[in-house]
Structure 1
Amino acid sequence: MKIKKILIGILILTMVFTVGCTGSKAPEQEQQQETVTEEPKNLSLKVGLMPAVDAAPMLIAEKKGYFRELGLDVELIVFNNAQDRQSALQTNSIDGAMTDLIAVATNVNGGFDIRATTITSGMFPVLVKEGYTEKKDIKVAMMEVSVTNFLIDEWLGNDYNIEKVFINEIPARLEMIKSGNVDMGLFPEPMASMGALGGLEKRIYDPEDGYCPDVLGFTSKALTEKAEAIKLFHEAYDKAVEDINKDESIAREILIEKLALKPEIKDSMILPKYIKASLPDNAYLEKIISWVEDVLKKDMNIKPEQLVERKFVE
């Protein structure tokens, strides 16, 4: 009987010891599991905007908090000229920017890798002096290797004999039309409407292929390191486009507010039909490359797929 009691006591002690050892390992295992976590994703972006109607969806996405809802930290920076925007892109001070396919093509051909991720909805009225008398031979003010030059060829090339006058600065171009030194000029909206306040008349043309060459582009560095953030950026962009298409007045209001425009042009601004993130087909990209080759008078060793990154719109 005494031996039986001893055996029972040993059995109880063994059970207690086993439970104690099992319990002591659980926190260790739990701690190890907690330390195995994924590297945090970089969900911050700096994006350059230009003072154009294309900017409206991004400005609305910021104002309505669509970026924040998706966990994005987005800084939008407005550049007043293409040169400052280009410098910011090349120094990686910004991840991406509003630009155009002509600029993308020349950048890629020059060795700077930037890809268009979506077309944006630009609007480019042609301005003439009020009371302008039609004639076959005209002088047109524009930038040289630019979307303005491309669109002038596309819209006016068949109807006029064009002498191109290359003037980079928009105020100088406007003055040339007002003074009668050139007959026409092409300007991004709402800069065109600002010019119309000074007595110029707007003429509207539709893109031949249904595309405007304006795009949103990101550097190869950003596309590699911040792909998830760029994907979410496009989601917020699409949401803002839906809002504009329900009530375009919000686009007019945000452009007046954020671009410091004169309130008088709010209702006269010509807005495009804003569309969700998308990219043109390769035939259109080939057309862009061919046009740039003609202007630069040299072959460009680039292919359409080098100009775009389609994964954010597919």
Structure 2
Amino acid sequence: MKMKKKLSVLLCFILSVVMVGCNAKAPIPEASPSPSEAGAEKESLSLGLISSISALPIIMAEEKGYFEEAGVDVKLEFFKAAKDRDAALQAGQIDGVICDQIAIAIYQNAGIDMKITGMTDGEFVLVAGANSGINQVADLVGKKVAISENTVIEYTLDQLLDKYDVSEAAVEKVAIPAMPTRLEMLNNGEIDAAIMPSPFSDTAIANGGKMIEKVDVDSGMYPSVTAFKQSVIDEKPNAIKAFYTAYNKGVDYINTTDVKAYEEVIITTIGYPEEMRGNIIAPVFRKNQLPPLEEVEDVFDWCEDKGLLTITLEPADAVSDIGVIQ
């Protein structure tokens, strides 16, 4: 009897364990965090530029954290000359550039499918040396004028000469690609005049140079743009849209903020001389937009005349509206 009772108890225990095992729920796997919860990795873009006031919205977008807010990691690479920037682009070290429409034509002619995705605001200034005797564009006849060949600088000079009926052959163009060198040679009297962007033009004038002519967006002769490779546009469309969203926020900040609040950035990053502190005037910037196609066509025609463009290139084939944020 005792043995039977023990077997009965044991049997009941085994059945109870089996029943508990059958009723137990399988453990629920822990849910994976969503990309936003996990902190999805931001796409990155690299941009090559030469220090000038036209780059200010981009620089302020970096300084104020607007790129990070928009969800894109932007690396800015500064160059002293266009040829160094272009070499980096050809080597695949940068995705986009601040350049000019002449550079776009040259890129396209070389088989690099670069697209204009925006335009910049700024100015080029024709500055004469203090002792050059130059007071107007007509006085450039027989004078040495510093340029960078086959760039917006030479295009600007040619446009000014045409505007004032001065023969291009009557002016001696001196190729000095690096802006700092161009400024130094103007200050030293080794050249008679030079076309330069701010802050180099401002420094030259502060050192005794004379402003002869200013070319900006309102003049219709300022073909400076931002551009990205078509392959980057295809691979990272959201990153480029984010870039221009941040650019536009940079524009809003500059246009609504006293320049004294970001003057230090202009001096340290763009390179304005310390002596200009308190006297810097920032342009009124526009939110990103594309240049008129007829202006692009004028530049491409100039490139053809110079022998820089040997392919058929329509202006519409060299632009992309991906950066025009509505």
Both proteins in one fold, TM over 0.5: yes
Q: Give 1:208 shift.
A: 6.4
2:151 maps to: 146
Matched, 1:241 2:251: yes
Q: Give 1:270 shift.
A: 5.6
Matched, 1:166 2:194: no
Residues 242 and 27 of structure 1, relative CA distance in 2, 3 Å threshold:
same
Matches within 5 A, 1:280-295: 280-295=291-306
Rounded Cα–Cα distance in structure 1 between residues aligned with 2:172 and 2:262? 33
Rounded Cα–Cα distance in structure 2 between residues aligned with 1:80 and 1:297? 23
Indicate conservation of the 8 Å contact 1:138/1:182, yes or no. Answer: no
Matches within 5 A, 1:1-314: 27=28, 43-130=43-130, 132-134=133-135, 135-136=138-139, 137-139=141-143, 140-159=145-164, 160-162=166-168, 163-167=171-175, 168-178=177-187, 182-203=191-212, 204-207=214-217, 210=220, 212-247=222-257, 249=259, 250=261, 252-269=263-280, 271-296=282-307, 299-313=310-324
TM-score, normalised to structure 2's length?
A: 0.78
Indicate conservation of the 8 Å contact 2:215/2:222, yes or no. Answer: no
Indicate conservation of the 8 Å contact 1:138/1:183, yes or no. Answer: no
Tell me the C-alpha RMSD between the 2 structures.
3.0
Q: What letter is aligned with 2:91?
A: T
**Local SS of the residue matching 2:296:** helix
Q: Deviations over 1:196-217 (max 9, x none)?
A: 2332122324456646211111
Q: Give 1:68 shift.
A: 1.0
TM-score, normalised to structure 1's length?
A: 0.81
Q: Deviations over 1:77-123 (max 9, x none)?
A: 21122122112211221111211111011110111111111001121
Identical residues among aligned pairs (%): 30
Rounded Cα–Cα distance in structure 2 between residues aligned with 1:67 and 1:179? 41
Q: Structure 1: 5+ residue runs without aligned partners? A: 1-15
Q: Structure 2: 5+ residue runs without aligned partners? A: 1-18
Q: What letter is aligned with 1:215?
A: V
Q: Deviations over 1:44-99 (max 9, x none)?
A: 11112211111111111111111111222221121122122112211221111211
